[in-house]
Structures are given as C-alpha cells and as structure tokens.
A and B are shown apart, each in its own frame.
Chain A
Amino acid sequence: MKRIVGVGVLVLGVLAPIVPLFVWAVSARWRYPALVPQEPSLRGLRLIVDPQTAAVRGVATSLAIAVAVTILASLIGLPAGRALGLHAFRGKRVIQLLLLAPALVPTLAVSLGMHVTFIRYGLADTVPGVVLAQLVPTIPYVTFVMASAFANFDGGYEQQARTLGAGSIRTLVSVTIPAVRPALVVAAYFAFLISWSEYVLTLVIGGGVVQTLPLLVFGYIQSADLTLAAALSLLFVLPPLLLVGLTSRYLTGQSGVALGFGRA
C-alpha cells in the first residue's frame, strides 16, 4: 500500500504540472474557476506551424546557434578531455578546476562582465557573439564527459594503428573517434541542450536583438498571453525530448554522465 502511494506521488508529481500547459495551448479563454476552457483556439497552434510568424524565425535562430555551439564546443572540448583523461601532468588539478568553474559560477555573474568586453569588440547584439558566449557554459560539460571516456581508453590501439602505417588523421578517424563515440554523442547532446535552453546569456549578450525561442516564450509570458506562451513552450520542448530519445541508449548505465542535465 505504501509503495502504491509512493508510485502515485512520483507519477503525479512529475506529469501533473505539464497538463495545464497542453490545455492552455489550445484555449482562447479559460477564466477561473472553470475546470475546462470556455473557448478553444487554434491561435497557439497557428503560431507554431505558420511559417510567417516570429516563432519560426525564433526556431531558425535557436537552431543555428545551438548547432554552431554544439560543433565548436565538441571540437574544443574533445582534445581538452583527452588531455585530462589520458595524461598525468603537473598542474592538472588547477586546469581541471579552471575548466569546471564555468559550470558552477552563475551565468549571470559572467555574462554582465562579458557583455562589457563584447561591446568593445563589436560582438554584442550579434549571433556570433551569442555563440561565442555560450561556449563558456558548454565547454566544461563536453570536456568532463570526454575526460571520463578517455580515462577508460587504451592508448595502445592508436600505437597499433600507427605501427600498421596509419597516419594521424586516419588513426583519429578510424580508431580514436569510434572508441569514444558514445561519450561524444552524449557530450554533443548536452552542449545542444544547454545552448537551446539558455536564456540569460542570450538576453544579455544578444541585447534583445538576437531573438531565440526562450526569449520569445519569456516575452509571451510577460505580456500574459498564456495561449501563445504555452503553445510555443510545447515547440520549445520538442527537440530536446526527441534527441533524448535518440541518445538514451548512451545515456543509461554511464555513471556521472547524467550530471550534464544540471544546467538545462
């Protein structure tokens, strides 16, 4: 009996808060204290399917930024993870702390100072500026997921490939990358998720000119247009949910990897 109550609380606690979101997305009028909306509406759905609305431009901007951040963070974090996972060297702890710090320090604390710097170099209010800024919270996660993968990687395989005549690039493509592929998929997913959900960094660095999906959702909530806010939220949640389905076989069973969800 106790266990049934526990399961009930868990399922209800996780899923119940999402229900009003779905209802609001298709309601025009839903005044208190009615339990069902007085008037249904397709306004919210139109916003997310009509290619002429701001929402679609928001999706395009968000997607472009998230893909660029994912690629860059992976390219930068992979070698750093290799150095930390595979090698022992003097000052390693300091480097580890330095590369982990951006995951712990509040984004806002960094973004204000970064904005001042970005204004000077003309990067404020631009998409490249936002991409650059979002590397800060993403690189720590990529680096540490890759470091834990390289800690279990046997460098001997690379030696063998070299002995058999493979060049550096060939060794990287046919030996190293396949060996760490699950971790790379997970790391890239986290980079995408963090970039896709990031609000305050985009707001400060993008100055309201770079309108990603979270900024649009926030705007609709502020103007109390709950129908559009709810509908756009559903679209906002969709890509991360689809991608988690695709990467789930790499996500389970690996300890510590789930830590990447900390920032989303």
Chain B
Amino acid sequence: MFFSGRPRFGERVQQRMGIILLLAPALVVVLVLFVGGFGHGVAQSFGYLPFLEGSQVGVDAYADLWRDAEVRAGIGLTVRTALLATVLSFVLGVAGALLIRSSRRGRRLLSLIFQANLPVPHLVGALCMLLLLSQTGAVSRLATASGLTDSAAGFPEVTGDGFGWSIVAAYVWKEAPFIGVVILAALSRGVADLEDVARSLGAGRWQRFRHVVLPVIAPGAAAASILVLAFTVGAYEVPYLLGRPFPAALSVVALQRYRDIDLESRPLAMAITVLLFLTVTLLAVGYLALADRLRRISR
C-alpha cells in the first residue's frame, strides 16, 4: 500500500460495514434465540401469560420462591454441590497437572490417561458414579468382600442422598482433568526456564511455585473454574440421576414445574431459571473478585 496512516472516511465506513456483516449471523442467533428466549422466560416469570385466562402481571412468583420449601432446599443443594465440586476440581486439577509435569518417565502416557474422560458426556459420568458408588455398587461390593460391611445398607448412602456426595463426585471426576489440561497447556510454554532462573537466584520450592508457576497458570485456571462453576450450577442430568426428589437441584425443580400440567406453576418455573441465571452471575463475579484480590496479595 502506498498511503499509510489514517484511512479515509469512505474506507472507514466500508470497514465498519464489513465488521458488521461478519458479526451479523452470530449476533442474530444470540439475540433472537438466547436473549429473546431468556427474555420470554423472564416475561413469564412476571406472570405475563396472555393465553391463560385470569393471569396477572406481578412479582408473585418471586415471592413464592422464598415460600417454596423445594426451591429453598434446591438453592442449598445447588450452591453446595457446585462450590464444593469447583474447589475440589481446582485443587485436584492443579495437583494432577503438577504431578504430570514433574514426572520424567511415562509423561505422555500419564497425560493421556488424565485426559481420557474429557470427551465422555456428563450423562455417562453420572451412570458410572451410580454403578460405582450406590449401596449395591462396585465399591460397596468390594467393602463387603473385604469384610468392612456386611450388607448393602451398611455402606454409606452417597447416591440419592440429601447432601449430594455422588453429584460432587461425578463433577470432580469430569472437571478436575478439564482444569488440569488447561493448566498443563499454560505450563508448556517455557515455565521451566523461568523456574531455573528463580532457582539460581536462590528461590525455594514454595517461592518458585508462588511467584513463578502460579502467575502463569492463574488466568487459564480462573477461566476454567468459572466455566466449571457455571456448568455445575445449571447442570440437569447429573443431579437428576444421582440426587433424590427432595431436596433436588434447582434445575431439576425448574423443569419439573415447567412440565406441570397446571400452567399456574409456569411463572414459578421461570422465576427459578432467573434465579439460576442470577446465581451463576453472582458466583462468577464473586469468584473473579476473589481471584483478583488473591493476585494482588501475592504480588
């Protein structure tokens, strides 16, 4: 190009049009289906049901949220399992990634095994946990065979339980390797050299981890954990198959109310989805603020 510098007005308009055209298809899909769909749900949560006679616009459904025992128990279960699963996945993911990185022999094989369940759908993960952890599952059989328990009832109830232990187990089985792989990718870019420099400058093991390794893996690990948190808050199959009718996860309660023949419970179902949306947003914002503060302290 002969002329450089600021493009002329006509060219700028042309470039702007080009960008709009490139973005248009994706924006149309997201605005119409995602924003429009969610907006429709919000409208119904405020009682906007024109096809239903006698329906009134108002915030009744939101008042009901706090009165409804199933919803209240659902909030507890959902937040509890999601937070516990995210923290455990993070810790085990970091530990796994560091273990693989520091092994000399069999590193490729080990990292392959670590990643083996990434493409396994969560639904299959839930089935695996059911066959493994239920009172008649594989672990319970091993416990009986080795004399630790003498009946199925003697094995702790971790599937279909009120706390959601096997729900957490299913998430951690899937998400710890996920976070670990993101960290391994971050670690593959020349961190070893930086660590060598730090070591030659007299940094100890903990100092090297804290000031060299942690800053490198932090952005990827934070992004991956937020995805995990968002997923576990809204997941349906895992808490449905591994939980019990009460207390059930919020997503399970929402779909059950939505499919209720009685359309009166429609606004409450939609209000629960709005609650799910707000929960994800709040937890993500809180998590980011926490991560940011930790980063500032470690500096």
Contact = CB atoms under 8 A, between A and B. Distances in A.
A1 interface: no
B152 A132 contact: no
B40 to A, nearest CB: 4
B27 A98 contact: yes
A11 B284 contact: no
Interface in B89-127: 95-96, 99-100, 102-103, 110, 113-114, 116-127
Given A11-B113, A101-B34, A109-B274, 16 more contacts: A6-B95, A14-B173, A15-B116, A17-B132, A18-B117, A20-B128, A79-B21, A98-B27, A102-B30, A105-B234, A115-B37, A139-B26, A139-B29, A197-B123, A255-B188, A256-B223
User: Interface extent on B, as a size class?
Assistant: 35 or more
Contacts of A233: 123-124, 127
B23 A32 contact: no
Given A105-B277, A221-B130, A116 B119 contact: no
B128 A21 contact: yes
Contacts of A102: 30, 34
B237 A218 contact: yes
User: Interface extent on A, as a size class?
Assistant: 35 or more
Contact of A24 (B114, B131, B135): B131
A86 B263 CA distance: 48
A49 interface: no
A221 B38 contact: no
Interface in A17-51: 17-21, 24, 31-35
A10 B99 contact: yes
Nearest to A200: B236
A196 B110 contact: no
A80 B22 contact: yes
Given A116-B41, A256-B220, A15 B113 contact: yes
Interface of B: 1, 15-16, 19, 21-23, 25-27, 29-31, 33-42, 44, 95-96, 99-100, 102-103, 110, 113-114, 116-132, 135-138, 140-142, 144-145, 152, 173, 177-178, 181-182, 185-186, 188-189, 220, 223-224, 226-228, 230-231, 233-237, 241, 251, 254-255, 258, 269-270, 273-274, 276-277, 280, 284
B110 A7 contact: yes
B7 to A, nearest CB: 12
Q: Return the 10 tightest CB-CB contacts between A and B, nearest first.
A: A106-B234, A113-B41, A114-B37, A240-B119, A262-B227, A197-B121, A80-B26, A20-B131, A32-B136, A83-B22
21 contacts: A14-B173, A17-B132, A17-B173, A21-B131, A76-B26, A87-B19, A95-B23, A95-B27, A98-B27, A109-B38, A109-B234, A112-B269, A116-B40, A116-B44, A236-B124, A240-B120, A241-B119, A244-B119, A256-B185, A262-B224, A264-B120
A77 interface: yes
A37 to B, nearest CB: 11
Most buried by A among B40, B124, B142, B273: B124
